[in-house]
Amino acid sequence: KEPSGSPSADSIKITKEVANAFVKRQKRSTLYFEYYKSPLEQMHERCENYPPCDYLSDQIGFSMAYNRFFG
């Protein structure tokens, strides 16, 4: 400890293994999928947000309904 009573920087250091035990990094691949959706997922959301397309997709299928309204 320093004369003022606070610990010095040298006494606070911990090993890399100990630090990694409680600090977990997120993987890049999971971040990529959170920010970017596949084109098919974007198309599904577009159809779901438009009630006539959403209703028709239940009747005749997604691809035909999407092509009718947005194709």
pLDDT per residue over 5-50, tens digit each? Answer: 666 666 677 777 777 776 766 665 555 556 778 899 999 999 999 9
For helices 51-60 and 39-48, what crossing angle results, to 10°? 110
Positive or negative torsion for Cα 37, 53, 55, 51: positive
**Structure token digits, residue 1:** 């400890």
HEC per residue, 12-34: HCCCHHHHHHHCCCCCHHHHHHH
| pLDDT top residue among 24 and 53 | 53
pLDDT at 59: 95
Residues in the chain, total: 71
Q: Identify whether the C-beta of residue 58 lies closer than 8 Å to the C-beta of residue 48.
A: no
